[in-house]
Structure 1
Amino acid sequence: MTLAPVCDTEAPIARVNPVAKLAAVAAVSTTALIASDWLTPLLLLAALLAAIPFSGIRIGELARRLRLLWFAALTVVIVNAVFAAEQTGQMLITFGPLEISSGALLGGTAIGLRVCVAATAGVLGFATTDPTDLADALTQQLRAPARFTLGALAALRLMPLLAAEWQQITSARRARGLEGGWNPLRRARLFASTMFTLLVGAIRRAGRLAAAMDARGFDSEIPRTHAREQRMRPADWAVIAVALLVCGAAVAVSAAYGVFTAFD
């Protein structure tokens, strides 16, 4: 696990200012979450997929990062279709107590598509952004407090270490014969104890890191300088404008077809 960009650093989207990418991701995700129809998030998802060649991300790496999120979206579709409050429209599946209608399936699909849009937009944004560049942009463009930004950056940098420690703990326990096997209760207990061990280690490391950062003056009120300047260029504003234009076009097309609804 790594937080370094998994893309070609010379790709057009990779060169965009991190704040501009955050604004574009926020615009697309907010539009998808506000629209409760199926067509608006579908159009937004198509636009995101069309932007993949400009991101410089390898398809295999992108699929690896999205597989669990899209699986969660599929689960959302199934759960909402099966447990819908009302089964409206044509009945598609009737198997004992299980009933799925076209209306329930369409409603579940709309929710699943919204999840896919938010997940894909977030992965495209963060997989093409270096965490240090993001922290620099937050403090320079958005004037975010340096203490908060640097603390968040340090936490992000520690996430790969947590993944490595998880592997070490599980490998050490497996070497001692502590495995859950096919027993779900035993596996649950091992998972809980491993999580507790990892949490204790993370808290101790966070305390030491906070003390070290304070000792080095990270909590100082003196204005900080930046080694790398982050500026909003015309291309960055163009990315935000294109994102807003795509959101407006998706809503307009859905409204023209008479399916657009919001805040459902």
Structure 2
Amino acid sequence: MTAPVTAASGRNGTEPPVQLGRGAGSVQPVASLLGVIALGVVLVLSLDLVSAATALLLELALLPVLRIPVRTLLLRTSPVLVVVPLTGVSIALYGQPSGRVWFDFAFAHVTDGSLQLALATMLRVLAVGIPGIVLFVRSDVTDLADGLAQILRLPARFVLGALAAIRMMTLLGDDWRQLAMARRARGVADSGRLRRGLSMAFGLLVVALRRATTLAVAMESRGFGAPGRRTWARRVRFAGPEWAMCGVLLGIGAAAVLAAVAAGTWRA
């Protein structure tokens, strides 16, 4: 969260008081972001089964530490669980053929090599996608924005604009329901489902653009676009818990690489 002023100092020439963020007792989301990126980079260095399976097993073993309810975990990871089989099928059909041929039709070739590559890719997507989701289940987007601006030193205008956009996205569902009720009250929502959907989508776009314009003017009037060094209402720190989070994720990647090298399956 940022202070609504951009002056570098207060009236008496001193820095205005700051407060620690609400997540001061937990891990800064930026640490999780950096750790997941580093883990993803390590896992894409090779497309073998051993490294991906090792990383996934270590992550599943550490999941109970986060104490996330099973229902919440399944709901949050459902997009990854849906994408993984589709990814595996596409690679199995159109991956590089090698070994025994199981199915051959036109451009589709299912072989031992394509099946192995498909399985390795599926495990790798799970190994990168699961921590990329579960580590941000309890994270506050404002804490993440504070970390991006204060730790990674990203431009304040970009961070604040992205934060405002994410905050406003929660209103799209309410706007859609209000549009549906308004059309139903006028008697124009009883037929033509496709046409109604397209019309409502256009109306939702108009509402979103109007709200974005109003929000931009409000933020500009409060000094969010002014030049100079910006002050921050909450100070964030990259300390022991953050380094531990990055170390755990890098350790998972290192263990996966060592396991693949020891098994002789590492393919750079």
Report the TM-score when normalising by structure 1. Answer: 0.81
CA–CA separation in structure 2 for the residues paired with 1:106 and 1:190: 45
Distance 1:249 1:60, change over 3 A: same
Out of 221, 226, 244, the residue aligned to residue 232 of structure 2 is: 226
Q: Once structures 1 and 2 are overlaid, which stretch shifts more, 222-231 or 238-247?
A: 222-231
Mapped to 2, the partners of 1:59 and 1:47 lie a distance apart of 18
| Corresponding residue number in structure 1 for 2:202 | 196
1:34 to 24, 27, 45: 45
- Superposed, 1:244-259 pairs within 5 Å as 244-259=250-265
After superposition, residues 103-114 of structure 1 pair within 5 angstroms as 103-114=113-124
- Look up the match of 1:4: none
Give the match for residue 5 of structure 1: none
Q: CA deviation at 1:115?
A: 2.1
Q: How does 1:1-264 map to 2 (within 5 A)?
A: 15-86=26-97, 88-92=98-102, 100-169=110-179, 176-178=189-191, 180=193, 186=194, 191-262=197-268
Gaps of 5+ in 1: 1-8, 181-185
Change (3 A) 1:168 1:74: farther
Post-superposition Cα deviations, 1:193-223, rounded to whole Å, max 9, x if no partner, equal: 4433323322222121111100111112243
Post-superposition offset of 1:231: 0.9
How many pairs does the alignment contain?
Answer: 243
For residues 159 and 105 of structure 2, the distance between their equivalents in structure 1, rounded to whole angstroms, comes to 54
In 2, Cα distance between equivalents of 1:224 and 1:48: 38
CA contact (8 A) 2:96 2:113 kept: no
Query: Displacement, 1:242?
Result: 2.1
Most deviating of 196-205 and 210-219: 196-205
Closer, same or farther: CA 99–26 of 1 in aligned 2, 3 Å: closer
Supply the distance in 1 between the matched residues of 2:238 and 2:107 (Cα, whole angstroms).
Answer: 57
Evaluate the alpha carbon distance shift between residue 256 and residue 172 of structure 1 in structure 2; reply closer, same or farther with a 3 A threshold: farther
Once the two structures are TM-superposed, the CA of residue 244 in structure 1 deviates from its matched residue by 1.4
3-state secondary structure, aligned to 2:44: helix
What CA distance in whole angstroms lies between the structure 1 residues aligned with 2:68 and 2:192?
Answer: 37
CA shift, 1:55, in A, is 2.0
Q: Partners in 2 of 1:100 and 1:23 — Cα distance?
A: 37
CA gap 1:219/1:172 in 2 versus in 1, 3 angstroms: same
Tell me which structure has the larger Cα radius of gyration.
2
Sequence identity percentage: 36
Alpha-carbon shift at residue 106 of structure 1 (Å): 1.2
Contact (CA 8 Å) 2:76, 2:134: kept in 1 or not? Answer: no
| Structure 1 residues 119 and 226, CA gap change in structure 2 (3 angstroms) | same
Change (3 A) 1:34 1:164: farther
State the Cα RMSD in Å: 2.7
- The separation in 1 between residues aligned to 2:71 and 2:226, in whole angstroms, is 44
Q: Is the 8 A contact 2:28 2:238 kept in 1?
A: yes
Deviation, 1:68, is 2.3
- How far the C-alpha of 1:123 sits from its partner, in A, is 0.7
Q: Could you tell me whether the CA contact under 8 Å between 1:55 and 1:128 is conserved in 2?
A: no
Gaps of 5+ in 2: 1-21
The whole-number CA distance in structure 2 between the counterparts of 1:259 and 1:115 is 18
Matched position secondary structure for 1:143: coil
Q: TM-score, normalised by structure 2?
A: 0.79
User: C-alpha separation between the residues in 2 aligned to 1:72 and 1:31?
Assistant: 21
